[in-house]
Amino acid sequence: MKFLNELLGFAVLTGPLWLILILLAIATWIAVKAAKRFEGRGVQIAVGVLVFLLVFFVPFGDEIAGRIYLGHLCATEAGVKVHQTVELPAEYWDEHGKPKFLNPRGVIVKAALGDRFTWRSVSERYINWFIRIDKEHSFLQDIQSKQDLGEKITFVRYYGWLNQFSPAPNVGESCRNIWAKRFGRDAFFQKENSEERDFLLKIFTSPASSK
């Protein structure tokens, strides 16, 4: 039942209402016609439901496949990588060893670090056959050395072909959307903030940590 509800949710989110109603009517008509070819109430119901699902959800095949594959990529390939570390002097840390250059959400305070570090983004087409998914990299770069200190990897998928008929402004979803639905928005934001801080604190080290 949960799987069926999610599929119906896909249909509502990725296709305009008028098209969904047309598909419902066509799928119902074909299912009834197919069921009447069989004997027995139970068999007719089973055949009708199966045919209805096949006819109704085939147009959303790319949407369903895209969502499943995105979930797989987010679980197995998305994440962070640390390439180099930078030791920051004692003035960047408070008396308790906490970073002055990060706010509570784990975001770099540019006023504290100056213009030495910057984020740069690179997007590449990961798959573009039947479904479209992009792989996105966010690199934290040391401007002085031109070196990438670390990177965050995520994936973005674009909604299926039916979305072009929809007036909805959203054209796709990312790993953040997947995780927010899985953990709940509040829990996800707390988890994201914590992971962001941990990632940056692996890159920026204090003099005390090297002793």
Q: What is the pLDDT of residue 151?
A: 96
Q: Of residues 210 and 79, which shows the higher confidence score?
A: 79
Q: What percent of the chain has pLDDT over 90?
A: 32
Clarify whether residues 95 and 78 are in a common domain.
Answer: yes
- Asked whether residue 129 carries a pLDDT value surpassing 90, the answer given is no
Assess whether 86 and 47 both reside in one domain. no
Residues 170, 96: one domain? yes
Phi, psi (deg, nearest 5) at residue 33: -60, -45
Is the Cβ–Cβ distance between 152 and 174 less than 8 Å? no
Regarding predicted confidence, which is higher, 65 or 133? 133
Q: Are residues 17 and 68 part of one domain?
A: no
Number of Cβ within 10 Å of residue 161's Cβ equals 16
Q: Which two tokens stand for residue 198?
A: 């941990």
Residues 41 and 56 in one domain: yes
What pLDDT sits at residue 79?
Answer: 94
Q: Which domain holds residue 185?
A: 62-210
Cα torsion 103, 104, 107, 110 to 10°: value is 0
Q: pLDDT value at position 209?
A: 65
Which pLDDT score, from 0 to 100, does residue 176 have?
Answer: 93
Instruction: Tell me: do 45 and 78 sit in the same domain.
Output: no
> Within this chain, do residues 42 and 75 fall inside the same structural domain, yes or no?
no
3-state SS track over the chain: CHHHHHHHHHHHHHCCHHHHHHHHHHHHHHHHHHHCCCCCHHHHHHHHHHHHHHHHHHHHHHHHHHHHHHHHHHHHCCEEEECCCEECCHHHECCCCCECCECCCCCECHHHHCCCEEEEEEEEEEEEECEEEEEEEEEEEECCCCEEEEEEEEEEEECCHHHHHCCCCCCEEEHHHHHHHHHCHHHHHHHHHHHHHHHHHHHEECHHHHC
> Residue 29: which pLDDT band, with cuts at 50, 70 and 90?
confident
Average confidence (pLDDT) over 22-31? 80
Render pLDDT for 78-108 as a digit per residue (tens, 0 to 9): 999 999 999 998 888 988 888 988 887 888 8
Domain final residue pick, 60, 79, 108:
60
- Residues 146 and 186 both lie in one domain: yes
One domain, residues 40 and 132: no
Quick one: which of 82, 86, 114 has its CA closest to 195?
82
Which own/partner contact pairs does 50-59 have at CB distance under 8 Å and 24+ positions apart? 51/27, 52/27, 52/28, 55/23, 55/26, 55/27, 55/30, 55/31, 56/11, 56/23, 56/24, 56/27, 57/7, 57/11, 59/15, 59/23, 59/162
In this model, does residue 14 exceed pLDDT 80? no
Res 168 pLDDT > 80: no
Q: Please say if the pLDDT value at position 59 is more than 80.
A: no
**At 70, is the pLDDT very low, low, confident or very high (cuts 50, 70, 90)?**
very high
Give residue 200's pLDDT. Answer: 93
Instruction: Calculate the average pLDDT of the chain.
Output: 83
Please tell me whether residues 106 and 49 are part of one structural domain: no
User: Is residue 71 located within the same domain as residue 20?
Assistant: no
- Lowest-confidence pick of 116-120, 133-137, 161-165: 161-165
What is the percent of the chain where pLDDT is above 70? Answer: 84
pLDDT reported for residue 153: 97
> Which of residues 45, 60, 75 is at a domain's end?
60
Number of structural domains the chain divides into: 2
Please give the average per-residue pLDDT across 142-153, as a whole number. 93
Residue where the block lists tokens 């996800």: 188
Same domain (yes/no): 85, 55: no
| pLDDT of amino acid 11 | 54
Amino acid at the residue 95: E
